[in-house]
Structure 1
Amino acid sequence: MLVRALAALRGAQFLLWLAVLPMRTLPDRHTGVIVGGYVVAALFAAVMFGVGIRRRFLSSRWIAADVALAVLYAVVVSRSYPPADAASITNWVIPPLCGVTVTAAIYGGRHRFPAVAVVVSSWIAGAWPALGTANGQELISNATMMTVFAGVAGLTGRLLLRAAHAADSATDRAVRAEHQAARSKERAEQALEFHDSVQATLDMIASGRYPERKNRWLAQREADFLRVLTTSRTNGDRAELATALARMIRDHPAQELIGGGVESRIDTLPSDLPADVVEALTKGAREALTNVVKYARTDEVCVTAATTERGGVRVAVIDQGVGFDVANRSPGLGTTRSIKRITELGGAVDIDSAPGEGTTVEMTWAG
Structure 2
Amino acid sequence: MFPGRGEDARVGIDMPFWRAIAVFRIASIVYAAALLIRADGYLRPQAGWAVIGVMTVWTVVTIYAYASPAMRGRALLAADMIVTVLCLLATPYVQGPYQTGALPITATWMGGPVIAWGVQGGRRAGALGAAIVSGADLWLRGVGEVSDFGVASVSINGVVLLFLAGILIGHVAQLARQAEERMQRATEMEAAGRERERLARGIHDSVLQVLALVQRRGQEIGGEAAELGRLAGQQEAALRELVSLQREPSPAGTCDLRTLLRAYGGTDVTVSTPATPLDLPTGAAREVAAAVAAALDNVRRHCGAGAHAWILAEGEEDTITVTVRDDGPGIPEGRLEEAAAAGRLGVAQSIRGRVADLGGRVVITSAPGQGTEVELTVPRGETPVRS
Normalised by the size of structure 2, how large is the TM-score?
A: 0.46
Normalised by the size of structure 1, how large is the TM-score?
A: 0.49
Larger Rg: 1
Larger helix fraction of residues: 1
